[in-house]
Structure 1
Amino acid sequence: MTITYAWRPVVDNAALDALHAAGFGYAAQGADWRARLERHSVGWVCAHRDDELVGFVNVAGDGGVHAFLVDTVVAAAARGHGVGTALVSAAVTGARAAGCRWLHVDYEPHLAAFYLEACGFRPTAAGLVAL
């Protein structure tokens, strides 16, 4: 399986909406991902197998030295091949090149091994308020 990765590529709204919906378990919303990413993100990484979008991660920023990894998703058929790890690695490289000094990520407990062991994050104390 040959996968290509790109930092800040032009995004196909329908393809990203479908991938995100499938990955997070809801119906596609018809979101304007391009506008959202341009407005709120330091950058993003897309993974493609041929012309098919099989992975995505967004790097949102605070306008300073902090960036936040969100929306990491890999298509079910591409999981288990290192796509997620490569997406995060490309996001780390892109965020660093953009001048960020810290990259934060929140994750559910079942993803701890992925983020801490495979991707090199270290645990921190954090807080969360459901809105």
Structure 2
Amino acid sequence: MEIRVRFEVDDVELSALHALAFGSGVQVQPWGARLERHALTWIGAFSDDRLVGFVQVCWDGGAHAFVLDTAVHPDHGRQGIGVRLVRAATDEARAAGCEWLHVDFEPHLAGFYLDACGFSPTDAGLLELRG
């Protein structure tokens, strides 16, 4: 397994991984352009040059960074890939001078983010803007 930071993004490949990881239909998204414009960094896990894991870090340009889109191919789950990705994201945010790394997650992922990745629980709010 190889971890690559700010790798050259293939929109089709990343869209397919995202769809598999999140159980949605594949809709090709402009990942490369979006990441270049908005992300502090992004990190991929590759097995035989095939993308099997991904995470991005967005930020406010200052002290706060945000983990988004942590995804691991279902065939490669439960092998520590997600933890390696989040740890690499943490290292990248720290190296950029960020003081805080935030993550939002659904309750069933608490063990992953809190126990395996070392985040602390916080209260947060969410406002849906669709519809």
- 1:108 is matched with 106
- 1:31 is matched with 29
- 1:86 is matched with 84
Taking only aligned residues, the RMSD between alpha carbons, in angstroms, comes to 0.8
Amino acid at match of 1:39: R
Work out the CA distance in 2 between the residues paired with 1:26 and 1:59: 22
Q: Report the TM-score, using the length of structure 2 for normalisation.
A: 0.95
Would you identify which runs of 4 or more consecutive aligned residues in structure 1 move more than 3 Å?
none
- 1:120 is matched with 118
Work out the CA distance in 1 between the residues paired with 2:27 and 2:65: 25
Structure 2: any 5+ residue segments left out of the alignment? none
Amino acid at match of 2:14: L
Q: Report the TM-score, using the length of structure 1 for normalisation.
A: 0.95
Work out the CA distance in 1 between the residues paired with 2:73 and 2:41: 20
- 2:61 is matched with 63
Cα deviation for residue 27 of structure 1 reads 1.7
Secondary structure of the corresponding residue to residue 110 of structure 2 = helix
The count of residues paired between Structure 1 and Structure 2 equals 129
Cα deviation for residue 121 of structure 1 reads 0.3
Cα deviation for residue 33 of structure 1 reads 0.6
Q: Deviations over 1:68-126 (max 9, x none)?
A: 00100000011011000000000000111112111000000000000000000001111
Cα deviation for residue 22 of structure 1 reads 1.2
Identical pairs, percent? 56
Structure 1: any 5+ residue segments left out of the alignment? none
